[in-house]
Structure 1
Amino acid sequence: MTTSADSSGKKPGPPQRQGAKRAPAGAAVLREDVTDAIRAAVFAELAAVGYARMSIEGIARRAGVGKTAVYRRWRSKLHLVLDLVSALAVQGLPAPDTGSLEGDLRLLYEVTSRALRHPVASQVIPDLQAEAARNPEIAEALQKALREGQHGVASGIVQAAVARGELSEGVDEDLALDLISGPLYWRAVVVRAPLPAGYLGSLATATGAALRGL
């Protein structure tokens, strides 16, 4: 059986499947393991040298990749750090559900305390805060991370306590969130003092009493 040619003299090619899509020429597939290695290297580099001295070269060296691998994913170290901070906000903290206000507060404090004591976090958070005072983009990303992370969980604790009748419906939620989040953050991040035995339980009890007085 012969195949007819079109008006240009060329034979038609094989029929294309309906809905089939062709990958763009030269499209690059970003390996997830390389992306994870770069993200881990950023945290380690931040803890080691701080944001101001951190460089794409240092990140790439620590991750065991070339600089091109980093630039294919992020335009600059600022965008890289902003992406990581935003990712932390999405991950957030687990929402406590112990059935009581003090129990929820105690669990929140235990999880938060462990996170703040992590060697990388204890170095990275203060450095990013200092940088936020000079860089509005980092400041905005940190505020978003706090709102969607710690404050989001704390808000859930307050709302659950209101629903159980442990707190009044007219409680000032903004003040309540400050009372919940402030003391531990002050002690662990600002003052950087060790937490004595029983401190988290006492803090949960004191915070619960303060919230009921609002």
Structure 2
Amino acid sequence: MTTDPRASAGAPRTARRVPAGAAVLREDVTDAIRAAVFEELAAVGFARMSIEGIARRAGVGKTAVYRRWKSKLELVLDLVSAFAAQGLPAPGTGSLYGDVRALLEVASHALRHPVASQVIPDLLVEAARHPEISDAIKAALLDGQRGIAAVIVRAAVERGELPEGADADRALDLIIGPLYWRLVVVRSELPPGYLDDLAASAVAALGHRD
């Protein structure tokens, strides 16, 4: 019994197209590539990072990466923007000190992550060369934290712990600035009680009212 050669030829082509189309939508592949980007950035930096290296780390072909992003710059921008979109809920401990201490705890864990500690400084250097990276980093590292600081300050004003007109940007500088300096720039370990002392100092500097 014979079959129509056009039908037999068409079936395999359809079967081959399905996996290719499905791969574009597979979240596990996308997640593997994103994880590989972090590892590659930490290992070689943005300038030396390549699509080939990312694909090798992710265990996929280069085409899997290019289906999602046109270039390594677009890939990194998407990754940084995704972090900005995630955001972190503002702490609601019921006191200014408690909120500041909770924010410091979360920030210290993020900044001490071995990959983040390598990636963030490198991206900040690249931001001077690529305005797109600068904008994405601003959204990820500044705008989200600024929103959290604004919530903390507003709650403290409502409780009478801070005076009216307290500046959320200044609060963010006082809270996160020293931590970033120590963990990312100086790269030294935090001594015991450091976060407690830093929280108390930041609250005092903000004009805390007992």
Q: Output the TM-score relative to the length of structure 1.
A: 0.84
Q: How many residues align?
A: 189
Which residue of structure 1 aligns with residue 151 of structure 2?
156
Which residue of structure 1 aligns with residue 11 of structure 2?
none
Q: Unaligned stretches of 5+ in structure 2? A: 1-16
1:84 pairs with one of 79, 84, 94 = 79
Is 1:168 paired with 2:187? no
Taking the aligned partners of 1:88 and 1:28, their CA distance within structure 2 comes to 27
Taking the aligned partners of 1:60 and 1:158, their CA distance within structure 2 comes to 44
Letter in 2 for 1:95: A
Contact kept, 8 Å, 2:175 with 2:198, in 1: the verdict is no
Q: Output the TM-score relative to the length of structure 2.
A: 0.85
| Counterpart mapping for 1:26-37 below 5 A | 28-29=21-22, 30-37=25-32
Taking the aligned partners of 1:51 and 1:122, their CA distance within structure 2 comes to 14
2:59 pairs with one of 61, 64, 78 = 64
Following superposition, which runs of at least 4 residues in structure 1 exceed 3 angstroms of deviation? none
Is 1:135 paired with 2:130? yes
Letter in 1 for 2:46: Y
Taking the aligned partners of 1:151 and 1:210, their CA distance within structure 2 comes to 18
Taking the aligned partners of 2:127 and 2:98, their CA distance within structure 1 comes to 34
Is 1:39 paired with 2:34? yes
Q: Identity, % of aligned pairs?
A: 74
- SS of 2:21's equivalent? coil
Structure with more of its chain in helix, by fraction: 2
- Point out the more displaced range, 139-148 or 194-203: 139-148
Q: Aligned-pair distance for 1:118? A: 0.7
Contact kept, 8 Å, 2:149 with 2:169, in 1: the verdict is no
How much is the aligned-residue C-alpha RMSD, in angstroms? 1.6
Letter in 1 for 2:104: Y
Taking the aligned partners of 2:133 and 2:38, their CA distance within structure 1 comes to 15
Taking the aligned partners of 1:82 and 1:113, their CA distance within structure 2 comes to 23
